[in-house]
Amino acid sequence: MRERIWAQLPLLLPWLLLPPPLWGGPPDGQCPEREPEPGPLQPFDLLYASGVAAYYSGDYEVAVRDLEAALRSHRRLREIRARCARHCAARRPLVPPGAGPGAELPFFRALLERARCYRSCQSQRLGGPASRHRASEDVRSDFQRRVPYNYLQRAYIKVPRAHTSRPPLPWDALQPSPRLPSLGRRAAP
């Protein structure tokens, strides 16, 4: 049994490396400039795929909306994961394993309790199971390389100029348009 526990140690090692709580900011919902969106958090990979599809179909307003929502959702997911890790690390401290047979069992018990706390914290704050927010390696790589910002910048440029230029005024139609001289060849005199 002891060999089986030590064989699983590499799988549990990332949980040991979680940082202790160092952040002293306000709890969820008390930061006035960033109010959480109502309802469960939307998966950022689906919003990103929808935004990219809208971009390539030429619907740039929908692309901007979905890409901005994907970036907000990704940021919020990272905040929730970090906050849950800090919360559970503070509530479930790991005890150092002692010497002798079975001495490491309290350590692994605390480690499993921390993992259970992390899963329940995530599902509670995300508004559903955390598995909804697992993205493919390609999508995670795109977000690390900041590709959504490239799409968003291009979509901002391609949004129809009607939203950024001044609206037509009633007297614009009354003014004659200036006649430009013809650039063709002049007839010889």
- Among 31-35, 72-76, 84-88, 170-174, the minimum mean pLDDT is found in 31-35
Q: Please check the confidence at residue 100 and state whether its pLDDT lies above 50.
A: yes
| pLDDT of res. 62 | 92
| pLDDT of res. 54 | 93
Q: What is the pLDDT of residues 110-165, one digit of tens each?
A: 999 999 999 999 988 888 777 777 888 898 899 999 999 999 999 988 886 535 55
Q: Please check the confidence at residue 85 and state whether its pLDDT lies above 50.
A: yes
- The predicted model scores a pTM of 0.62
CA–CA separation, 143 and 96 (whole Å): 37
Q: What is the pLDDT of residues 19-73, one digit of tens each?
A: 544 444 444 444 434 455 566 888 899 999 999 999 999 889 999 999 999 999 9
| pLDDT of res. 150 | 92
